[in-house]
Amino acid sequence: MRESIFVYETDQEVIQFLRSFFKRRKNLRAEFVDDIASLKERVSQSKEKNRVCIVDVDALPKLKPSTVDCPVLLAIIPRSPQAGIRKAVRHGVENYLISPLQEEDLAFKIKTALERKKTIELLRKKTGMLQTIVDLTSLVTSTLDPQEILYLIVKKISQVIPVTRCSIIRIDRNGDYADVAATFESPTMGRIRLDLNKYPEIKKALISEKPVVIHDVATDPIMEKVRDIIFPLGIRSIVVIPIVFHEEVIGTLFLRTSRAGYAFSEYEIKLCNAIANASANALYNAFLFEKIEDEKTRLEKLAITDYLTGVYNIRYFYHRIKEEFSRAQRYTLPLSCLMLDIDLFKGINDRYGHRIGDIILREFAQLLKKHTRKSDVLARYGGEEFIMLLPQAAESGAVAKAEAMRAYVEKYRFRGLKGKKLLTVSIGVATYPSRSIKNMEDLISFADNALYTAKTGGRNRVMVYKP
């Protein structure tokens, strides 16, 4: 399926690059718009699920990402990235491209961001399913009345899935009849006797002890003998699920749901099956709760982690530096910031390619992470630049830390280069309190200025910002 790309950009050189890029990719369809209003209109009119918006970073104040139905919003940042990155982060945009654009970088960002969005949506869907089951198990353990438990199960299903009928059926294996033990219409409804000869879907589930799904009553051969009876009721789709515990049908209880109009989706069938399992096994509650907590943790980690390097992303860094700077001001504590940049990294990309460059970035990030304290905050700032926050670290301690990391990098043999070349890193250091540092932005800027001095002074060195 071709994915729609909507582009708003004012730089003609960038526009020319993007047009050339999309022209050579059959799986992407780009549409260029002249203003923000046109962008919003075209996105809202598009019916495709996979969409990407690429915009000039200066347009972000006019375009709130939360108001545009795009799984991915990429911001194009001009050649001086510092202010552009801050603007992107401030407006909630994690994905950005720094001009001049590179084809491989753009293709990788679009591909990775779309895959990441799909993964998040899948995890959220699974988390929703697990949350429903956890809610149900909490309900059924709130009472010792078996009848009330059965009613709570069917009621919960009717709340999360649109159904015409939903009931739990108690079956005598030796007979041709069954009783409706619970139905969502009423918690006090008396038992209703069923002739199983009129319910072939239940009989098949009883024999196979496996779920039976009738997607369309009009065409499914299982329903052939009772089709004339079912049709007047307006029922199209039926799901019958044995409630199983330790691989045995519990007392021949069956969950049966039906609906008119359209068939049950795969997600709904899975949800019904999961509810049946959860209601049969009270001990399963602990496992499900643990699983949903793990899913939540994964989602939270995904939201604050840089997709390439595995360290924190810049948005999380800004969140933490705000907290730490406030704490440092309140209690007069030292707070240091390191800005790190791999020396001559462009040469690595040019000589070995961006794939090797990405491998080097991951190795570099993990090397830094290995030599940081639990209280330190390491994040990818952009490109080959990284930033580190050192709470309660004075200037002398921060310099010692920076020198140690510089030495680690200088001696380390990166697997991506197969021993062909050693890398070095330049580091800028700034520390609060200082008469020149009034806020967290000053702390970051002065560390960046110190890094610039280190780069222009010969690289592979640590420089401290001095007013």
- Which residue, 52, 20, 255, is CA-closest to 158? 255
Q: Two tokens at 331?
A: 């209690």
Strand-pairing partners, residue 382, are 385
Token pair of 341 as six digits: 């940049």
Active site includes 209?
Answer: no
Contact 229, 133 (CB under 8 A): no
Strands 462-464 and 212-214: unpaired
For residue 161, the 8-state DSSP code is: S
Amino acid, single-letter form, for residue 263: A
Phi, psi of 74 (to 5 degrees): -105, 130
Distance (Å, whole) CA 95 – CA 54? 10
Among 94, 268, 324, 384, the active-site one is 384
CA 310 to centroid of chain Cα atoms: 14
Q: Look up residue 268 and give its amino acid.
A: E
- Paired residues of 462 in beta bridges: 427
SS3 of 363, please? helix
Per 3-state DSSP, the chain is made up of helix, strand and coil in percentages (nearest 5) of: 50, 20, 25
- Region of residue 252 (left: phi > 0; alpha: psi -120 to 50; beta: else): left
Alpha helix locations (H) across 2-161?
A: 12-23, 36-45, 81-90, 103-140, 146-160
Residue owning tokens 């059965």: 150
Q: Which residues contact 421 (CB under 8 A, 6 or more apart)?
A: 348, 414
Active centre residues (catalytic): 384
